[in-house]
Amino acid sequence: MTPDDLLTRFHAQIRLADKDAAPGFVVEHDGPVHRTYPLDAGAPGAMVECPQGLGEDPGHWIARQVEFFTSRGQEVEWKTYGYDEPADLQARLVAAGFVAQAPEVVLLGRCTDLVHDVALPDGVRLVEPTTEDGWARVGRLVEAVWGREGVAISRALRAEQEARPDLMSTSVVEDLETGEAVSYAILRMTEGTEFCGLWGGSTLPAWRRRGLYRALVSHRASMALERGYTLARVDTSPDSRPILLRLGLHPVADTRPYVLSDS
């Protein structure tokens, strides 16, 4: 399976089919724009994209999204891919008030290539948060790595997992001595497709470069295969990308979020 084959499947099964919406989100099309968002304007996760381009009047469709989400008082992310049309989409978004976030690269490949033997270091164990205290530990970890938004992120993750535990699993590496989470990662199975998504991958600085990320990748790929999902997708940062490339995933597209604040 070539990178082009993988991208074709991803584009058809995920992007065109609006499969990135969380459970309970509104899914709708406004002309060529695909948008998904929670009904609660204060909740995170609103996203738009244009998998088939924006046609002959891109400014019109961008302005409509600005008006729509501004009127709701809702922050929204426009998720762009390097092959989206028009070619100057990203510049147009900035001109409309969207703020560029860190660029990433989409990697796709077979889950079987990600399953490998990686022993966790001494003093930790792999668990899944199932209690208030367990999710609070995830929140503290995400907050320590990413800042105050960790609280909202952990709440959203918990709500999503409780709504569809068959499609989402959270794996946490826990310090046996302190009980605190030192690394966590998400597995999302995309119903009706071949794909699972490997998200998260946040690790406390003191625990990095000790094999935790690779162990979590293998663990999640194994779970995905057990549930019948054979292909994996990852939006990668410079930190995770080399590991996943060595394991056999393929770069297929650049991706970059552009955020329009609700303030």
Residue with tokens 């009127």: 71
Which of helix, strand or coil describes residue 224?
Answer: helix
The CA-atom distances, in angstroms, between 110 and each of 1, 13, 251 are 9, 15, 13
Q: Which residues pair with 118 in a beta bridge?
A: none
Tell me, what DSSP letter sits at residue 114? G
- pLDDT at residue 150, as a whole number: 67
Is the preceding omega at residue 51 within 30 degrees of 0, hence cis? no
Which of helix, strand or coil describes residue 238?
Answer: coil
Instruction: Please count the other Cβ atoms lying within 10 Å of the Cβ belonging to residue 162.
Output: 12
Residue with tokens 């058809």: 12
Report CA Rg, the chain.
18
Which contiguous run of DSSP H or E holds residue 198? Answer: strand 195-203
Residue with tokens 């999302």: 188
Rounded to whole angstroms, the Cα distance separating 131 from 120 reads 23
Instruction: Please count the other Cβ atoms lying within 10 Å of the Cβ belonging to residue 94.
Output: 12
pLDDT in tens, the chain (263 residues): 899 999 999 999 999 999 998 888 999 999 999 999 999 999 888 999 999 999 999 999 999 999 999 999 999 999 999 999 999 999 999 999 999 999 999 999 999 999 988 889 999 999 998 888 888 898 899 888 888 766 777 777 888 888 899 999 999 999 999 999 999 999 999 999 999 999 987 899 999 999 999 999 999 999 999 999 999 999 998 888 998 999 899 999 999 999 999 76
CA atoms within 13 Å, Cβ hemisphere of 203: 18
According to DSSP, the β-strands at 231-236 and 195-203 are parallel
For the chain, which domains are there?
Answer: 3-104 (no CATH), 110-254 (3.40.630.30)
Contact partners, residue 38, CB within 8 Å, separation at least 6: 22, 24, 25, 26, 44, 45, 46
State both tokens at 90.
């990203």
- pLDDT at residue 43, as a whole number: 87
